[in-house]
Amino acid sequence: MRGLFGSLTGMVKRESDPLADARTAAQWVRDLKQEQDIAGQLAAVHELAIKSLERRPLALSTLQALFVIDEKIQSTFDQVRQQYIQNPRAGKAIEEKLWSDIVGFARAMLAAYHPFVRLEDPRPEEEAGFQQATALMLARATHYVGIQVKWHYFRFQNPPSTLWAAANQLYRLAEVSGIDSQAFPLYPELDMQPTSCADEFIRIQMLATLNNGNFNLRQYDWADRWLIGWSRQVQIERKYRDGIHQFCVNLAEPSGPAKIHEAVEGDMMRFWGVGDLLAEMGKIIGQLEAGDSPARLGLGDDARMPACLDFLRQLEILWSRERNQQSSRNERTKVSKLIQVTSGLTAIFSAVRFDDERAMQRASARNAPDNDEVMDMKLYGYVTDRTKQKLAQAQSRNHAYVNKAKSIEHDEWVVENQSEGGFGALLPVEGHDWVRLGVLLALRNNDHENWHIAVIRRLNRIDADQLYAGVQILTGTPVSASMKSLEDERHAPMAVDGIDTVGLVMRKNGLYIPYFGEGRRANSLLLHSADYAPGRLYQVLARDKSFMVRIGETLEKGPDWIWTIVELLRRDA
């Protein structure tokens, strides 16, 4: 009978409560991972976290079950986050879905921890257990605040004040409980690297100091991961120390960190400097410059040279006290005007080429016909029909070039401020998915002006419908260049199917840009990334003048372009 009863019991699957205790929670997650795909697993835990808000009274066993579910779902949650990070150019619908899933999950888990954070009178028999769990609970809650802040930065958005209020309150509770610096692994099954409430808090604060719209998704992710270790080099203090502290935050306000410009005091003010952090970064930069690999230095397998080193140098400048005190910008003035903007290297190269052809044609039309007219007047006393026809043909060609230039597809942006070196523009989010940091632009005020070359330096999401773009003008006098690789020409076959191929190497497009910087003037080319190779020799044709040049040091890199110094080896006749 006992065996029969046991078999009947096994046939009836009881509905278990995942939040009953840690053991039940672990089994529930195991079953969930067998039955659901990644999206289903995340959705199930999200729903459970929301339902947990209805549970009363609050029990220690429920918090312990939440700890287990939170830890065991982390590998799944990390896969979804990596999917977002590794596909920055995913379609709008995919990006929107992933962003909502990630931020929504972090929001739900923060809400699930919130009732325990606010619990003031636990049952006497559970009080010691709750006190023991406080540090982990506050650290994980702060961690979920950090994820939401980070994902807002990925979209160039300012995090809502509620997130700053949550971060500040969680850290203040950790201080009051005396466990703000208590170190432990956040998710021991995934990573034994120790952290603390203070580390999670300062990680958010330091990431916020990068929110100037100048960094892309990959760079934000690198900085956030590096700050896991670097946060130990930053000490939060209650009293301001001149010459030491660089940033501060008011725990009583729903706001993030601020730079310190003068001495400030207050019971809820917290201060920190980055001297030790900069020293640590300096060591890493030195090791990378000496040939060490980013992966071996703990910067991650996806951190590649030289981009990794370049970003570290940018952080070093940004966080140095001297830079914060001495940095200045060109004065900006408010304006309201429309400009024409085009993007894509093919369109930009064509736009500048049309400008050059028009300029050359105008010069030709001015010189030859005018001279002929003078000669006609001297010889005949009037302008001959032949000269008139010649002038009409020149004007016709000029109109053709103008029409070609007008045919270039372009967008119109609303400029709201400008300075000597650039401008700030407002544009709708809709239709501007291509607008990213480092994207090259050609721009002009109207059809009659020449195109300027510029690059997007800063992005900020104003609201759901508007985007702010800060643009730096690289040059107002670009010259189109036609380039032929001499190396490719040397390696080309002499004949294909009996046809001589010498000189038939396909030409590349580029832009000649005068470079003024670091007290020197140099020749430089802006070319497609695929056409760049250090030391490569090119024959360059620009405005009917031919040169042989060697590719030199890189000035800057964009998503699909490289700006490089060139050494002039020979000027051809």
Q: pLDDT tens digits, residue range 23-57?
A: 999 999 999 999 999 999 999 999 999 999 988 88
* Dist. CA 300–CA 313, nearest whole Å: 17
Average model confidence (pLDDT) across the chain: 84
Top-confidence residue, 164 or 370? 164
Amino acid at the residue 137: M
> For residue 489, is pLDDT > 60?
no
> For residue 326, is pLDDT > 70?
no
> For residue 75, is pLDDT > 60?
yes
Q: How confident is the model at residue 163 (pLDDT cuts 50, 70, 90)?
A: very high
pLDDT digits (tens, 9 = 90+) for 360-400: 766 655 555 456 655 655 555 566 777 667 666 666 555 55
Contacts of 204 (CB under 8 A, 6+ apart): 142, 145, 146, 149, 167, 256
3-state secondary structure of 535: coil
> For residue 5, is pLDDT > 50?
no
DSSP 566: E
Calculate mean pLDDT across residues 458-464.
81
Top-confidence residue, 395 or 132? 132
Q: How confident is the model at residue 555 (pLDDT cuts 50, 70, 90)?
A: confident
> For residue 569, is pLDDT > 90?
no
The phi, psi pair for 561, rounded to 5°, reads: -135, 160
Record the tokens describing residue 423, joined without a space: 């401008």
- Predicted confidence at residue 68, as pLDDT, reads 95
Question: Exposure string (b/e) for 266-296, b if CB count within 10 Å is 16 or more?
Answer: eeebbbbbbbebbebbeebbeebeeeeebee
**Choice among 82-86, 124-128, 130-134 with the minimum mean pLDDT:** 124-128
Calculate mean pLDDT across residues 9-22.
66
* Dist. CA 73–CA 68, nearest whole Å: 9
State which H helix or E strand residue 265 sits in: none
Calculate mean pLDDT across residues 185-214.
90
Mark out the alpha helices in 159-274 (DSSP H runs).
161-177, 197-208, 217-230
Q: Among candidates 508, 506, 501, which has minimal Cα distance to 525? A: 508
- Say how many CA atoms lie within 13 Å of 92 toward its Cβ: 7
* Dist. CA 81–CA 147, nearest whole Å: 10
Mark out the alpha helices in 231-344 (DSSP H runs).
275-289, 307-319, 321-326
Amino acid at the residue 548: M
Beta-carbon count within 10 A of 6 CB: 10
User: CA triplet 397, 401, 402: central angle to 5 degrees?
Assistant: 115
pLDDT digits (tens, 9 = 90+) for 234-281: 999 999 988 889 999 999 999 999 988 888 888 999 999 998 999 899
Q: How confident is the model at residue 330 (pLDDT cuts 50, 70, 90)?
A: low
> For residue 160, is pLDDT > 50?
yes
User: CA triplet 240, 278, 295: central angle to 5 degrees?
Assistant: 140
Beta bridge partners of 516: 521
- Predicted confidence at residue 323, as pLDDT, reads 44
* Dist. CA 201–CA 207, nearest whole Å: 10
pLDDT digits (tens, 9 = 90+) for 199-212: 999 999 999 999 87
- Predicted confidence at residue 18, as pLDDT, reads 92
Total residue count of the chain as it appears in this document: 573
Q: Tell me the range of 79-83, 371-375, 464-468 where mean pLDDT is highest.
A: 79-83
* Dist. CA 459–CA 156, nearest whole Å: 6
Give the strand pairing for 479-485 and 508-517. Answer: antiparallel
Residue 529 vs residues 90, 308, 509: alpha-carbon distances, Å: 22, 18, 11
> For residue 16, is pLDDT > 60?
yes
Please say whether the beta carbons of 50 and 111 come within 8 A: yes
- Predicted confidence at residue 382, as pLDDT, reads 61
> For residue 557, is pLDDT > 90?
no
- Taking phi over 0 as left and psi of -120 to 50 as alpha, with beta for the rest, 481 belongs to beta
* Dist. CA 263–CA 240, nearest whole Å: 7
- Predicted confidence at residue 373, as pLDDT, reads 58
Calculate mean pLDDT across residues 85-106.
89
> For residue 451, is pLDDT > 70?
yes
- Predicted confidence at residue 372, as pLDDT, reads 63
- Predicted confidence at residue 29, as pLDDT, reads 94
- Predicted confidence at residue 93, as pLDDT, reads 87
- Predicted confidence at residue 33, as pLDDT, reads 93
- Predicted confidence at residue 141, as pLDDT, reads 97
pLDDT digits (tens, 9 = 90+) for 397-422: 555 555 555 567 888 899 999 888 88
**Choice among 111-115, 237-241, 433-437 with the minimum mean pLDDT:** 433-437
Amino acid at the residue 509: N
